[in-house]
Structure 1
Amino acid sequence: MGKRNHQPSSYTVCSNTYALLPYIDGNRSWTRVIEDRSEFVVEESVYKTVSSSCSFYRGSLESATLYSQKAVRVKHKPPIIIGEYYGNPLLFFPTHSPKNKESVWLNFDAVELVESDDSGKGSIVYLSNGVTVPLDVSPIALRNQHSFAGSLRRYFKNAQQVHQHQMVYLTKRRYPPRRQHPLD
């Protein structure tokens, strides 16, 4: 991780965000951000970063969680759509419960491969920018999380298509000419 003299006090997730990892500095829990071409530390917790990013995109972590639970029927650690970026969902999934200080959030689109580590108990996550992230989470659990996130993407894209078809139908629909009232 490259050194920086100044750490930002907040961060908004975007399409360049690949992973959000907890970074402990003394008693404070900050966020290590891995982007497509850089890494840095933000002076707020991972939970706060995810929550404020949802707010930035005009939503909330709670509503994103409810949407996901309805879509993929996963109650524990559901993936979420943090926001929509030019019609594409910013899809992230947690490694633990979202409020857990150890929870890492991974961008669905940035995960290339999940393998077992040498112990067989943890995982190594390969991101599409060449960065590897070792995690103390089973590879089976991570693959399941990634799969649920893929299901959420399909649900979102299907809903998007239905909405577009409805809009086309409404704009093409012809209404009969308006009748004049007999007293006009």
Structure 2
Amino acid sequence: MSRKNHRPSSYTICTNTYALLPYIEGHRTWMRVIEDRSELVVEEAVYKTVTTSCRFYRASLESATLYAQKAVGVKHKPPIIIGEYYGNPLIFFPTHSPKNKECVWFNYDAIDLIESDSSGKGSIIYLSNSESVYLDVSPIALRNQHSFAGSLRRYFKKSQRVHNHPMAYVTKRTFPPRKQQPLD
């Protein structure tokens, strides 16, 4: 088997990951991964890759979702922090409910522009590596998702500053000893 036809059986999301898209071949649904400088097909579902990547970074999809819901106040399809690279959150957002087989996940930092397609109903997502992704999803919905991901980044960075801020500790104040009153 040549290297060209090799398809990995699993994938871990990293900063080079720009988008995870369902890829249908015959009766199987796999995943198409767009990275900063390459593209590959992985024999794994998108949802499984997201959940295992969260675990790789010592979290779970459930905890990442709860954190995002608290931070952004969005209950349906919140963006999530998959992991953290040297203090920077790796934020992805879904286009549909995460378990939906049509769900596409985008790296917040990889998106340059979201605009309407020629029909006005779908979207064209321009990635920072000059790739474009066409989806049958409203551009307004995608812009909202992207905006929520930006809010999640700001919340995370603000929390990070608060936790990394040196605390001023109050030292115990000492008072001179009291003079004891004589007992009668």
TM over 0.5: yes
Contact 1:8 1:42 in 2 (8 A): yes
Identity %: 76
Letter in 2 for 1:134: Y
- Alignment pair present for 1:21 and 2:17: no
Which residue of structure 2 lines up, in the alignment, with residue 173 of structure 1?
169
Letter in 2 for 1:8: P
Contact 1:83 1:89 in 2 (8 A): yes
Q: Alignment partner of 2:58: what SS?
A: coil
Which residue of structure 1 lines up, in the alignment, with residue 152 of structure 2?
152
**Number of residue pairs the alignment of both structures matches:** 171
Deviation track 1:53-90 (CA, whole Å, cap 9, x = no partner) reads 00000000000000000100101110000000111000
TM-score, normalised relative to structure 2: 0.90
Which residue of structure 1 lines up, in the alignment, with residue 102 of structure 2?
102
- Report the RMSD for the aligned CA atoms in angstroms: 1.5
Contact 1:4 1:40 in 2 (8 A): no
Which residue of structure 1 lines up, in the alignment, with residue 176 of structure 2?
none
Which residue of structure 2 lines up, in the alignment, with residue 85 of structure 1?
85
TM-score, normalised relative to structure 1: 0.90
Moved segments of 4+, more than 2 Å = 172-176
Which residue of structure 1 lines up, in the alignment, with residue 112 of structure 2?
112
Structure 2 regions of 5+ residues with no counterpart? 173-184
- Alignment pair present for 1:142 and 2:138: no
2:151 and 2:59 mapped to 1: Cα distance? 21
1:20 and 1:86 mapped to 2: Cα distance? 23
2:170 and 2:83 mapped to 1: Cα distance? 35
Contact 1:12 1:49 in 2 (8 A): yes
Deviation track 1:24-75 (CA, whole Å, cap 9, x = no partner) reads 1222211100000000011100000101000000000000000000100101
